[in-house]
Amino acid sequence: MRNILLLAAAAAFATAAVAKPGDAPSPLLKPTPSEAEAAIWATRFLTHFHYKPMPLDDAMSEKIYKRYLDALDGDKLFFTQSDVAKFNAYKDKLDDAIYDQDLAGPYAIFNVYEQRVAERVSYARSLLAKGFDFSKDESYDYDREKATWAKDDAEVNDLWRKRIKNDWLRLKLAGKTDKDIRDTLDKRYANYIDRVRQLNSEDVFQTFMNAYASSIEPHTNYLGPRASENFDIAMKLSLEGIGAVLQREDDYTAIREIVPGGPAALSKQLKVGDRIVGVGQGENGQIADVVGWRLDDVVDKIRGAKDTTVRLEVLPADAGPDGKHFTLSLVRKKVSIEEQAAKKSVIEVGKGDQARRIGVISLPTFYQDFEARRRGDKDYKSATRDVEKLLGELKADKVDGVIVDLRNNGGGSLAEATDLTGLFIDKGPVVQVRNASGQVEENSDENPGMAWDGPLAVLVNRGSASASEIFAAAIQDYGRGVIIGEPTFGKGTVQNLVDLDEVAHNEKPTFGEVKMTIAQFFRINGGSTQLRGVTPDISFPLTVDAKDFGESSYDNALPWTSIAPAKYAPVGDIKSVVPMLIQRHDTRTAGNVEWKNLEADLADARALRAEKTISLNETVRRKERDEQEAKRKAREGLAAHTDDHVGNATPSADPASKTVQKIQEAAGTSRPRANAADAEAASKKTGDAKAAANAKSTSKDGAKNAATQANANESDDEGDANSAGDDGLQPDERNINSDLAREKEAKQRHDVVLDEAAHILADEIALIRADNKLAQQVLPHPVATKVD
């Protein structure tokens, strides 16, 4: 068992793939002996060492069965009632399948699924030649999470007819010609089939074992060998490779981003949009043609040990399919994933004597290189170390206050949550952890002194989970700073990684890992963040409803409970100033056009989410689109003539500021962007078998993979709507450079949420500077925070 305590929101870990187009059916998949053995090893730990151990019996089998079907066909677009009636024979037999090491049943279900995908999508492609009548008054019920299975092929085909009609209408409203629409959709649906056909035995096993693991509790997962490797990369924020972000583009593996300082950048021979068509090992190794390969298979060939050579055959971005290739050799090096590392910025608030400099620490994840720390590496990667360094730089910049921005930070290392809190308190308990036996231990900051003892705010949203909640709760309980934003995710559990290959003494990665809940954490005041999250001192508009996203959206989440408080003494009394800050916040935002636009955008988004159907009548859709566009232009026009903010920082725009368009919801391409990165901060975004078929690269949490951002792996951009409106395309159908331009535009938008948080902290600074007594109450006392 790896001695790592992890904190984060859950995600599905099943692999989706990009495929080489082709109509030949793939062979039926079968379980391997090693997968059957891995299932036994995983079961031993899940049934005996989980925080909430549950027997693997007939009752659990029924839960696994339900989740497995949901993973494959959650929107009920492929199977019919007769299919499910046949599958029901396995409903209470999956426990026996695991114990008897006979996984033929789950694989048989998958093979039928693959066949149904081919049938449904082939039918969809046949409709393209006929076109559609958009004058009819009919609608598409696109939210099918609670729908029943179609009774027969005729009913499910009608669902697909409406789905395809909606896809066509989206492209038509975007100005595409009928020929372009046919070509785009035919290629899209062909790729759906190919992606599923390229799923392999490991993918099916991982999907099935995740159905088992997540049936116990939402944050328990199975990770196959490939997912385990990506998980490790996400935690340590580094890997050994060439330093390029890759994504699929038609049949090619294309370069989306080149990481500064990496081998690819230093070669000065590669550029964004170049397509990798072949990969060879060593100076003289044969180059394998990788056109049409799964993206993760190409990644595996490009990654490798430090100081080894990989040879790439490249088709330049500006060359046609028959263009001239070139070959280059790159020596692999250690590449840092800086996108997920802590960063700083400074926001100027006010003018003249009222000017305040607010430092911002943006922390996407509580990362730590566990292996390097275990080895005794003095320079191991650590969120706390990076933040401490940035705080020193902000001090040198003479900032008046600091905001720690934890929006969409899904968690990470428990040790990092404790150590990071220690930068802002003298010393004392940070979090209480209760194991399955009921024993409670305190995790404390033992290092006296603070890296920052000035005014402090913590900015959170619904995507702030686990380790983020530990930090925010401790800061709140100590009265050390003001918590601003939305109620957080509500995860109050601790996970550990069990390396099944290590316990089985395998020489090579074969069995994978189990991420298993082993404890529950509690605030130092005795309360829990489980289900309830951390309630901010100053609330901002909700970006997403609790029933749709967060711990309370899971049907098997652990209940809220509490324990005795730890012995601690608050270091400040932030409550004495909060009412004044709220009053100033309300007054300021009442006249802030950007803030009002944000509230209006969120109201529109909630209204659209509440709708479960969309019209397939062109006149109705054009009217709806024009109304949305008119609203957007009116809001932009008001904002352009108003200068209610003074902030000059331009970090990534808050996802809540974008209007959610109904047309994207219907297409199934949108996802919650206020998302908690999975476990340990940025888990693998892989998509499951269902995602491969219907292009929903989503999980329950919308988890995002840090590892994808620094080397050969898949880009996670979903192409949200921006000022250009909906283009009707899937992410991999867009030109990389135009897609990057959209992304850059989004990042440059003013972050009204962060700006308002800076104003609130500036208000606090003004209040305490004008009142010494208030300052003594709010700022940390010069005493230890531990009470013996």
pLDDT average per 10 residues of sequence, the chain (788 residues): 52 34 68 97 97 97 98 96 98 98 97 96 95 96 92 97 96 95 94 90 96 97 92 87 90 91 94 95 93 92 95 92 92 88 96 92 95 88 97 98 97 96 97 97 95 97 97 98 98 96 94 96 98 97 91 96 96 93 97 92 86 94 91 73 37 28 26 31 28 28 26 32 64 80 73 96 95 89 44
Q: What is the DSSP letter of 82?
A: H
Query: How many whole angstroms separate alpha carbon 222 and alpha carbon 241?
Result: 26
Query: How many whole angstroms separate alpha carbon 450 and alpha carbon 20?
Result: 56
Q: How far is CA 294 from CA 63, 103, 250, 754, in A?
A: 31, 25, 11, 39
pLDDT on residue 736: 84
Q: Residue 646 class from Cβ within 10 Å (0-12 exposed, 13-18 middle, 19+ buried)?
A: middle
189: Cβ–Cβ under 8 A, 6 or more apart, which residues? 121, 124, 125
H/E stretch holding 578 reads helix 578-590
Q: Tokens standing for 744?
A: 């850059």
Q: SS3 of 110, please?
A: helix
Query: How many whole angstroms separate alpha carbon 624 and alpha carbon 633?
Result: 14
Q: Residue 41: what residue type?
A: W
Helix then strand count (H, E) for the chain reads: 24, 23
pLDDT on residue 610: 85
Query: How many whole angstroms separate alpha carbon 179 and alpha carbon 338?
Result: 43
pLDDT on residue 782: 54
H/E stretch holding 542 reads none
H/E stretch holding 259 reads none
Which residues, listed in sequence order, are joined to residue 786 by a DSSP beta bridge? Answer: 568
Give phi and psi for 487, each to the nearest 5. -55, 140
Dihedral (C-alpha) 705, 711, 712, 713: value to the nearest 10 degrees? 10
Please count the CA atoms within 13 angstroms of the CA of 43 that sit on its side-chain side.
21
The angle subtended at Cα 20 by Cα 18 and Cα 25, nearest 5°, is 105
Give phi and psi for 130, each to the nearest 5. -85, -30
Q: SS3 of 766, please?
A: helix
Q: Evaluate whether 330 touches 263 at the Cβ level (below 8 Å).
A: yes
Query: How many whole angstroms separate alpha carbon 269 and alpha carbon 49?
Result: 52
Query: How many whole angstroms separate alpha carbon 185 and alpha carbon 190?
Result: 8
Query: How many whole angstroms separate alpha carbon 726 and alpha carbon 602?
Result: 18
Query: How many whole angstroms separate alpha carbon 692 and alpha carbon 77?
Result: 13
Which residues, listed in sequence order, are joined to residue 246 by a DSSP beta bridge? Answer: 255
pLDDT on residue 6: 60
pLDDT on residue 739: 80
pLDDT on residue 250: 82
Phi-psi region of 129 (alpha: psi -120 to 50; beta: other; left: phi over 0): alpha
Task: Transcribe 686-710 into DSSP letters.
Answer: ---HHHHHH-----TT----GGGGT
Beta carbons within 10 angstroms of residue 286's beta carbon? 9
pLDDT on residue 251: 85
Give phi and psi for 110, each to the nearest 5. -65, -40
**Catalytic center residues:** 466, 477, 491
Please count the CA atoms within 13 angstroms of the CA of 531 that sit on its side-chain side.
11
Query: How many whole angstroms separate alpha carbon 249 and alpha carbon 254?
Result: 6
